[in-house]
Structure 1
Amino acid sequence: MRIARWLDGADVGEGFVIGDQVVAFPDGLRVAEILSQGLEGARRVHDRVVDASGGVRATAQAAALDSVRLLAPVVPASIRDFVAFEEHVEGVSASVDGKSEVVPEWYEAPTFYFTNPHTVLGPGDAVVPPVSERLDFELEMAAVIGFGPDADGANLDVAAAAGAIFGYTIMNDWSARDLQSREMKVRLGPAKGKDFGLSLGPWIVTSDEFAEFEDEDGYIAVRAEVRINGELIGEDLVSNAGWTFAELVAYASRNSRVVPGDVLGSGTVGNGGCLGELWGRNGALVPAPLVEGDEVRMAIEGIGELVGSVGAAVEAPMVPQARVRSRSRRRL
């Protein structure tokens, strides 16, 4: 099953993508409600809009896929983004300080950060970046959480975490590397180097569709690639990650909780999954950082394509630097 959100004129539609049509959920249901029913609930809803031959029922509300504008397929409850690919860590570390390394702590557990769910973009949208000399993309596969009301998203083991994954989509974590580098020297972040935009789409493909790509350990061997203005920049297999998606979800729930609508990014794939990795490998800004008008086209086998572009940078209001204070412990 493919789950999507779209704009048809001024109306937002939510439902299934079936063949070359978008088909609205019955009874005005929304993606968030479908995710809260889990895969079994989604299948029951799907059966209400398709007939025995797999065609769309005459009573269903449908439109041609090419007649609507796709939106991000989910309004995330939260977004966690991991750094699960060793090759990516090696390359980006070299672009920051000239030294290619993976710290021992990376191997101990999957690391992630929370990013902004309020600046999510959909297919075809242009990101509005800050002023940056090192604007970049990040090619990722993302898991979307969804399970029924009888399940609990806290302290999941790996098997339960696998069952909590409703489906997958493509994720582009736009990044301003110069801002990110400054922030992370303070040993906290990233923040303003990342939170201006993140693209998701084109739809959610349910997890059962990936069974043919999974090995016995749960790794999903699908090809991921990215092109800038039509030129192939990076390509990798998602199965080259250090952890499976189920392990990432289990770790996220550790002493915490995942809920339907949460999005968990794999982190950037290796072998050119972002420009920063290549800058570390080349020792120079080659390929060049993204600029206004560039098109970034991502494709992941079994999902489809996510296309985004770079809009004009916005000069934001300045915040003053910290002032040196007296450190007085008493009021004057």
Structure 2
Amino acid sequence: MRLARWADGADLGEGFVIEDRVVPFPNGLRVAQVLEQGLSAARRLFERVAGDDGVPLDRVRLLAPLVPASIRDFVAFEEHVEGVSAGVEGTSHVAPEWYEAPTFYFTNPHTVLGPGEAVAPPVTQRLDFELELAVVIGGVEGSDGRNLDPASAGAHIFGYTIMNDWSARDLQAREMKVRLGPAKGKDFGMSLGPWIVTADELAPFEDDEGFLDVRAEVRVNDELIGFDLVSNAGWPFPEFVAYASRNSRVVPGDVLGSGTVGNGGCLGELWGRNGALAPPPLAPGDVVRMSIEGIGELVSTVGATVDAPGVPRARPRPRHRTRGL
């Protein structure tokens, strides 16, 4: 099953993509509600509308397939870490701590973009993409999503979508020196789409260890830049979910990005390996086309940069410990 949100002129719709048409959910349900009900309920809804005419897919404009409750983005591909670290540290290096757990950061759910929607980056000299496969969390009866073990975490994976984690690498590099972040180097845009493919559709791609053996590719202006197998991640997806829930909680509508795949899944990795900005950073008008086997294709464009108002530098303070009278 494929779940989507779309615009048909001034009308908005949410439902299933069935062959070459979109079919609304019964009773005006929304993607968020279907995620909360879980996969079994989604199958029953699909059976109710599978024979409906719907609207031709090429007549609508697809939106981001969900409004995320939260977005966690992992860094799970060793090859990506090796390449990026070469550019940042001057030598390829993977910290021993990377191997201990699938580390992630939280990013902005309020700047999510849909298929074909242009990103409006900040002023940057090093605009980059990041090719990722993302998990979408669904509801599981009797579970509140807390402290899951890997065996039970898999049931919380409702489906998958493609993620493009846009990055302003020069801003990100400055922020990371403060030992917190990334922040403004990342939170201006995150593209998701074109739809959510339910977990059962990708089950045939699972290998013996539970990794998804699907091919991911990214092209810029139709030139192939990078490709990898998602099974090259350090952890299978249920372990991402279990770690995210540790002393915390995952809820329906949460999005968990795999982190950037290796072998050119982003320009930053290639810059580190090549010792130069080659291929060049993204520029306005560039078209980034990502495809993942079993999911589909997410196409995005680079819009004009936005020179937002600045913030003053920190003011040195005298560090008084008491107030004067």
Equivalences for residues 118-129 of structure 1 within 5 A: 118-129=110-121
Q: Is the 8 A contact 2:140 2:155 kept in 1?
A: no
Residue number among 186, 193, 197 corresponding to 1:205 in the alignment: 197
Q: Is the 8 A contact 2:23 2:52 kept in 1?
A: no
Give the secondary structure class of the aligned counterpart of 2:46.
helix
Residue 304 of structure 2: aligned partner: 312
CA-CA distance at 1:315 after TM superposition: 0.5
Residue 14 of structure 1: aligned partner: 14
What are the superposed Cα offsets for residues 126-171 of structure 1, whole Å, 9 maximum, x if unpaired?
0000000000000000000002443220000111110000000000
Structure 2 CA distance, aligned partners of 1:296 and 1:228? 5
Residue 281 of structure 1: aligned partner: 273
Give the secondary structure class of the aligned counterpart of 1:123.
coil
**TM-score, normalised via structure 2 length:** 0.99
1:253 pairs with 2:248: no
Q: Is the 8 A contact 1:41 1:148 kept in 2?
A: no
Structure 1 CA distance, aligned partners of 2:215 and 2:12? 31
Structure 1 CA distance, aligned partners of 2:52 and 2:142? 31
Structure 2 CA distance, aligned partners of 1:69 and 1:149? 33
- Give the aligned residue type for 1:143: V
1:301 pairs with 2:296: no
1:40 pairs with 2:40: yes
Structure 2 CA distance, aligned partners of 1:91 and 1:242? 16
Give the secondary structure class of the aligned counterpart of 1:36.
helix
Equivalences for residues 128-167 of structure 1 within 5 A: 128-167=120-159
Structure 2 CA distance, aligned partners of 1:318 and 1:142? 33
Residue number among 220, 230, 235 corresponding to 1:243 in the alignment: 235
1:57 pairs with 2:89: no
Residue 53 of structure 1: aligned partner: none
CA-CA distance at 1:11 after TM superposition: 1.5
Structure 2 CA distance, aligned partners of 1:107 and 1:159? 20
Structure 1 alignment gaps of length 5 or more:
51-55
What are the superposed Cα offsets for residues 274-321 of structure 1, whole Å, 9 maximum, x if unpaired?
000000000000000000000000000000000001000010101011
Identity, % of aligned positions: 76
What are the superposed Cα offsets for residues 163-208 of structure 1, whole Å, 9 maximum, x if unpaired?
0000000000000000000000111000000000000000000000
Q: Is the 8 A contact 1:134 1:290 kept in 2?
A: yes
Equivalences for residues 28-107 of structure 1 within 5 A: 28-50=28-50, 56-57=51-52, 62-107=54-99
- Give the aligned residue type for 1:26: P
Give the secondary structure class of the aligned counterpart of 2:234.
coil
What are the superposed Cα offsets for residues 41-70 of structure 1, whole Å, 9 maximum, x if unpaired?
0001111102xxxxx236xxx100000000
Structure 2 CA distance, aligned partners of 1:64 and 1:75? 23
- Give the aligned residue type for 2:6: W
Structure 2 alignment gaps of length 5 or more:
none
Structure 2 CA distance, aligned partners of 1:131 and 1:237? 33
RMSD over aligned CA atoms reads 0.7
Residue 25 of structure 1: aligned partner: 25
- Give the aligned residue type for 2:254: D
1:266 pairs with 2:258: yes
Structure 1 CA distance, aligned partners of 2:151 and 2:22? 33
The worse-fitting range, judged by mean Cα deviation, of 280-289 and 92-101 is 92-101
Structure 1 CA distance, aligned partners of 2:7 and 2:143? 32
1:321 pairs with 2:308: no
1:192 pairs with 2:184: yes
Give the secondary structure class of the aligned counterpart of 2:49.
coil
Residue 211 of structure 2: aligned partner: 219
Give the secondary structure class of the aligned counterpart of 1:328.
coil
The count of corresponding residues between Structure 1 and Structure 2 is: 324
Give the secondary structure class of the aligned counterpart of 1:48.
helix
Q: Is the 8 A contact 1:36 1:149 kept in 2?
A: no
